Amino acid sequence: MKIAIMAITKNGSELAMKTAESICKASDTEVVLYIKDSFMYKNSNVSFNVNPLKVPIYELVKDIFEIFDALVFVMASGIAVRTIAPLIKSKTTDPAVLVMDEQGRFVISLLSGHIGGGNSLTSEIAGLIGAVPVITTATDINGVISFDVFAGSNNLVIENMDNLKYISSELVNGNKVGLFSECTLRGNIPSEVVYLKDLSSKKVDNIKAMVVLSNRTDLFTKECKVLYLRPKNLVIGLGCKRGITKERVIEAVENALATKRKSIESVKCIATIDLKADEKGLLEYCSEAEIELKIIPRDMVGKIEQQFKGSGFVKSKVGVSCVAEPCAYIAASKGSFIMEKTSFKGITIAIFEEKLEMKI
């Protein structure tokens, strides 16, 4: 996590420096301090970066809002609110925003408490400096599970964020929500959650809100509010002809996933051989889709290619008899077959699924 701490008064700057030191001693978190020159330590051995505050605070925050994971204002909450108001976009992308009074009595989680990690950072800083953490999110103060925190801690993608509010509303109002997971869950299921081993259970009939943890797109058609959490456990192996376009890659990937009723949000990476590392269309697709492109050396593929159906023609062209299946197999740490290699207009795709465990 990368944290910016800002202060505009002498007392606030002293607390900001103390807080930065405490955070850096407790973890390897990167901390950058913004205070006036006249308030800086003369000690050159500080473990954090110190930048002189030479512009109004709103100008500084406008420049750094999308750079840092968390912003800590050591000043009045009104200043913080007016400063960040024009910059706020989405709870999925906004940084955590915290406010501290300059006497260090309170640390307030102001924005992105769950997905942005603001609540946990608030508790951490309060513990380090002996302050009172102020957290106002309803699930936290009511002691019920927060599924956006659960998603964040398990690297899950919330596919339909708009439905999160319905799940949280049911929970904070004392109602139970259903949970179906195709991933193994470790830990105790909260009492406010009805865990369903299958979606044909009669328990589903009495549930108004449901959380589904799966990479499948064909689950749960009952009329109720459903929150889909997508695990990053699909690996696509891909082989292609030279000069393939981004549009062809898009079409092939979408068709392959649709064939197996799998969500694009669950794709962890695309794997191919080193010979395709500079394939422009593939690189463009992965960059725009924000999907990792994993390059598998051909000598690694060569060691296991006999496990898969190969082609002498392919071997004559690239040095190994098959690409999609062994690349997916290696990148998925073996995993399990979801789709055998299938051709989509010059692009060959295979899909493997990793087995994941989630902590609840």
Q: What is the radius of gyration, based on Cα positions, of the chain?
A: 25
**Residue 53 one-letter amino acid:** L
| DSSP one-letter code for 338 | E
Q: Please report how the helices 118-129 and 10-26 are oriented relative to each other, as an axis angle in degrees rounded to 10.
A: 100
Read off the pLDDT of residues 100-153 as tens digits, 9 standing for 90 and up.
999 999 999 999 999 999 999 999 999 999 999 999 999 998 999 999 999 999
Q: Identify each DSSP E strand in 81-165 by its residue range.
A: 96-100, 106-111, 132-134, 156-158
Q: Residue written as tokens 């202060």?
A: 7
Q: How sure is the predictor about 3, in pLDDT bands with cuts at 50, 70 and 90?
A: very high
Give 87-132 as a DSSP string: G---TTTSPEEEEE-TTSSEEEEEE-SSTT-HHHHHHHHHHHHTPE
What integer pLDDT is reported at residue 220 of this predicted model? 66
Strand pairing category for 193-196 and 2-7: unpaired
3 closest CA partner among 27, 12, 11: 27
Q: What is the pLDDT of residue 321?
A: 81
12-55: pLDDT as tens digits = 999 999 999 999 988 889 999 999 877 776 655 666 788 889 89
Q: What is the reported pLDDT for 43?
A: 58
Q: What is the pLDDT of residues 196-214, one digit of tens each?
A: 888 776 777 778 899 999 9
Residue 222: its pLDDT value, please?
67
Q: In degrees to the nearest 10, what's the CA dihedral of 157, 161, 167, 169?
A: 140
pTM of the model: 0.82
Structural domains of the chain ordered from first start? 2-136 (3.40.50.11220), 147-231 (3.40.1390.40), 234-358 (3.30.420.180)
The whole-chain average pLDDT of the chain stands at 91
Q: What are the Cα distances from residue 328, in Å, to 141, 237, 245, 307?
A: 44, 4, 21, 13
- Predicted pLDDT of residue 46: 65
Tokens of 18: 């103390």
Q: How far apart are CA 140 and CA 200, in angstroms?
A: 31
Q: Which amino acid is at 306?
A: Q
Token pair listed for 33:
């301090």
Sign of CA dihedral 13, 15, 16, 17: positive
Reported as a single tens digit per residue, the pLDDT across 85-94 is 999 999 889 9
Distance CA 64, CA 286 (A): 27
C-alpha 6/C-alpha 212 separation (Å) is 40
